[in-house]
Structure 1
Amino acid sequence: MARKTYYGVTIGILMVETYFRRFAGDIGNAETWPFPVQYKVVRGATPANITQLQDNVLLEPFKRAAQELIDEGVDGITTTCGFLAYYQQQLAAFCSVPVATSALLQGPMVARTLPRGGRIGILTYDEAALTAPYLEAVGVDPATPVVGVPAGSEFRRSIRDGDAAVPYDVLEAEVLATAGRLMDHGNIGAIICECTNLTPFSAAMAERFGVPVFDSVSLVHWFHQGLRPRQFPRR
């Protein structure tokens, strides 16, 4: 049995170094979870460089932080940035526990659940940065429609600048408008939210557009269920 510092925490979450407001529903807000989680901030992983992972400069810091969480006692690792799909294979190979880096991992499975003619669409923080290598790293078809929140939006500015004062309603309106542009691609049968900061608005998107929405919260609930299956009474 592996040595642990703490017990009863299944999910370890590698956090990007940010200072904006994380509302309930965000992976980085502990009130989102009905089970304990443990956070570890990866220093130097900021909004300025987390969407530019091809040079692998951040791979070693993420490996070190993941190992610290494992040594302390977690049973699985996830992250607070969907762009870390790019490191999925490297981190999974490195860690001694299962790793689920990004909500994008759900893409291939969700695509196979849709009725004939339906396809997934991806909602992202930065459309220009979410290029084919990030999608291919987790088995998502690079031809999948991808729409990002505008660079000049309060959503992106608040994350970049660490501004915790932007009202929820302002962010929700921007996210819903962006999701509407994604739906304009046609035949979108489900939305996958790359960005973990979109999850507080998933229910509003599902209600507005009438399609399932999958995000980091749905990923982590699925992940946790496998790591800690529910025990049922014997009859």
Structure 2
Amino acid sequence: MKRGRPFYGVETGVAILDSDIPRPVGDIGNARSFDYPVQYQVVTGVGPKDMFRPRSEKVADGFAQAINTMAGQGVRIAATSCGLLAHYQQEVASRTDIPIAMSSLIQIPVVLRLLRPEQSVLLLTIDAERITPAHLEQSGVGESDRSRVVVQDMAHAPYFLSVIKGTEDDYDSNRALAEVLRAVDEGLGRAPDCGAIVIECTNLPPFSNDIKAHTGLPVWDALTLTDWLAGAVEPRQ
């Protein structure tokens, strides 16, 4: 072991939005969601509201800087705390010193390859209007595959959205779960040949086990992505 790091034993990082919303176990912003150490770096001045605004250099600069700060401290691979960052993937990756996955959406091309050609993927997102062709392109979803991605948002989940947007201080996960499963059912109603679910929002993985049990389908989310990243750098037990 050589000197040169302020601390040791952390290989995986998460560049996290500047926010104080509740983050239960299962959320990427809760360190107990992982079986390995995770280092967080807050992207100061970039919060959830910025995710609903047009693409900006402030966001790209903030995440690139946060990731490089972690890299300078010894972190070897990183994820972020919002799937809507997908359209920053190539730009930020080109400016960081370590591999970075900006969004759980980059799992979609792999998931599509796992399914029969006629099957679709349900993409559960906080806001369907924010999922643009650029988000899918930057995530590696080719134009020929986009018809196989059925996008379902949380438009009819007022309580869950109030928590995520910071207008509700107390978080009742059971109340939110009912809204989440309702959104999933609505999406499956539009995707009868659905073979798998990919979750965009990093605040939804606390419900992934419930979604698996409810639908019987495999579910990929921010935690499955981060676990995959960590598998490349974390020592095997």
* SS of residue in 2 equivalent to 1:208: helix
> Which one-letter code corresponds to 1:93 in the other structure?
S
Question: 1:93, 1:224 → 2: CA distance?
Answer: 20
Equivalent positions of 1:17-32 (< 5 A) are 17-32=18-33
Question: 1:222, 1:53 → 2: CA distance?
Answer: 30
Structure 1 pair 38–173 and aligned structure 2 pair: CA distance change class (3 A): same
1:161 pairs with 166, 187, 193, which one? Answer: 166
Question: 1:75, 1:2 → 2: CA distance?
Answer: 16
The structure where helix makes up a greater share of residues is 2
> Which one-letter code corresponds to 1:24 in the other structure?
V
- For residues 178-201 of structure 1, the C-alpha deviation after alignment (integer angstroms, 9 at most, x for no partner) is 111111122111000000111000
1:175 pairs with 177, 180, 192, which one? Answer: 180
Deviates more, 1:185-194 or 1:90-99: 90-99
- 2:39 corresponds in structure 1 to 38
Q: Stretches of 4+ moved more than 6 A in 1? A: none
Question: 1:159, 1:9 → 2: CA distance?
Answer: 28
- 1:214 corresponds in structure 2 to 220
> Which one-letter code corresponds to 1:184 in the other structure?
G
Question: 1:151, 1:119 → 2: CA distance?
Answer: 22
Judge conservation of contact 1:151–1:157 (CA < 8 Å) in 2.
no
The unaligned stretches of length 5 or more in structure 2 are none
Deviates more, 1:50-59 or 1:3-12: 50-59
Cα RMSD of the aligned pairs, angstroms, is 1.7
- 2:231 corresponds in structure 1 to 225
- For residues 87-146 of structure 1, the C-alpha deviation after alignment (integer angstroms, 9 at most, x for no partner) is 111121111211111111110001110134211110001111111111111112443211
Deviates more, 1:82-91 or 1:148-157: 148-157
Please report how far the alpha carbon of residue 164 of structure 1 lies from its aligned counterpart in structure 2 after TM superposition: 3.6
Question: 2:92, 2:83 → 1: CA distance?
Answer: 14
> Which one-letter code corresponds to 1:173 in the other structure?
A
How many residue pairs are counted as aligned between the two chains?
231
- For residues 28-60 of structure 1, the C-alpha deviation after alignment (integer angstroms, 9 at most, x for no partner) is 001101100011111221121113352333111
- 1:82 corresponds in structure 2 to 83
Deviates more, 1:141-150 or 1:210-219: 141-150
* SS of residue in 2 equivalent to 1:40: strand
> Which one-letter code corresponds to 2:41 in the other structure?
K
Q: TM-score, normalised by structure 1?
A: 0.92
> Which one-letter code corresponds to 1:158 in the other structure?
V
- 1:132 corresponds in structure 2 to 133
Judge conservation of contact 1:16–1:47 (CA < 8 Å) in 2.
yes
Structure 1 pair 227–137 and aligned structure 2 pair: CA distance change class (3 A): same
Judge conservation of contact 2:150–2:187 (CA < 8 Å) in 1.
yes
Judge conservation of contact 2:83–2:202 (CA < 8 Å) in 1.
yes
Structure 1 pair 3–86 and aligned structure 2 pair: CA distance change class (3 A): farther
Question: 2:200, 2:167 → 1: CA distance?
Answer: 20
> Which one-letter code corresponds to 2:173 in the other structure?
Y
- 1:115 corresponds in structure 2 to 116
Matched, 1:145 2:150: yes
Judge conservation of contact 1:18–1:162 (CA < 8 Å) in 2.
no
- For residues 206-233 of structure 1, the C-alpha deviation after alignment (integer angstroms, 9 at most, x for no partner) is 11111100001111111111122526xx
Question: 2:95, 2:3 → 1: CA distance?
Answer: 16
Structure 1 pair 136–2 and aligned structure 2 pair: CA distance change class (3 A): farther
Please report how far the alpha carbon of residue 154 of structure 1 lies from its aligned counterpart in structure 2 after TM superposition: 1.1
* SS of residue in 1 equivalent to 2:197: strand
